[in-house]
Amino acid sequence: MDLNLKDKVVIVTGGAAGIGRATVERFTAEGAKVVAWDVTSDPKVDVTDASSVQRSVDDVMSRFGRIDVLVNNAGIVRDAQLVKWKDGVIGMMDDATFDAVINVNLKGVFLCTRAVVPHMIRSGGGAILNASSIVGLYGNFGQTNYAATKAGVISFTKTWARELGRYNIRVNCVAPGFIATDMVKAMPQNILDSMAGRTPLAKLGEPRDIANAYVFLASEAAKFIHGAVLSVDGGLVMGT
C-alpha cells in the first residue's frame, strides 16, 4: 500500500529514544522528511517553553517551507500516590512532581500544536497525532499526574478535531498499552512477566507497533479517520 508520505515534512517530539525514535525511523522509511525534537538532542527543544517551540517551528519552516505532520510524542513519568497512608500520612504526590508531568505531557502538546497549526492552515491541511495511553482511558494506581495528562490529550484530540477539520487538519491520538522500550525492558523480569500476563496477546508491544499506528494515521489510508482514539495495547483494555 502506498501511504503517500514521500517528502511530507514530519515533526516528532521526544524523537530521540523509544517510541519517538521508532516513529522517526518509520516515517523516514516512507520517504518523509523528519525532524526529531528532544531535550537531549542538538539543537535542544523544550516543549514546555513556548519560545523554544516557536524558534524550532520557525527553523522547520525556513528549511522546508511547510509542516505536514506533527506527532506529539514527548512525555515523562513521575509516579507517586496521591496520599500514602500508614496510621497517618507518610507520603504524597508533591507539587513539583505533579507540575513536571503536566508541563511536558499536556502543556507541551498544547504549545507545539498551537505553534504548528497556523502553518498547516496556510498550506491547506495536515495531520496532528497525539500520544495518549490506556492509562488516560482507565486510570492507574500511583499515576494521578500521568493519567490526568493522557486523559487531557484525548480531550485535546476531540476538541481540536471539531475546530480544525474545516481546515483539512485531521487530529487523532494513539493509546499504547505496555510497550517494550529500552526503559521498560530494564525492569525486573517478574514485572515484565506480569505486564505480559495482563495482556490478552500475552506479550508486550514493540515501539514499532506504535510507530506503525502513527504512520497509518498520518497517511492517505486514514483520510477519513478524525477525532479517534486508537488503542494499540494487545487487547489490554479488554483484560483490565
Distances (CA, A) of 90 to 77, 83, 84, 99, 202: 21, 8, 6, 21, 36
Compute the distance between CA of residue 60 and CA of residue 48 in angstroms, rounded to an integer.
Answer: 18
Task: Report whether 218 contacts 4 (CB < 8 A).
Answer: no
Instruction: Count other Cβ atoms within 10 Å, centred on residue 51.
Output: 9
Contacting residues for 180 by C-beta, under 8 A, at least 6 apart = 192, 204, 205, 206, 207
Q: For residue 103, what is the DSSP state?
A: I
Residue whose C-alpha cell is 500475552: 202
Does residue 146 carry a catalytic annotation?
yes
Task: Report whether 143 contacts 79 (CB < 8 A).
Answer: yes
Compute the distance between CA of residue 115 and CA of residue 87 in angstroms, rounded to an integer.
Answer: 49
* Residue from 138, 146, 167, 214 carrying the catalytic annotation: 146
Compute the distance between CA of residue 57 and CA of residue 63 in angstroms, rounded to an integer.
Answer: 10
Instruction: Count other Cβ atoms within 10 Å, centred on residue 70.
Output: 30
Distances (CA, A) of 85 to 93, 139, 142: 12, 20, 13
Cell of 70: 506533527
Catalytic residues: 146
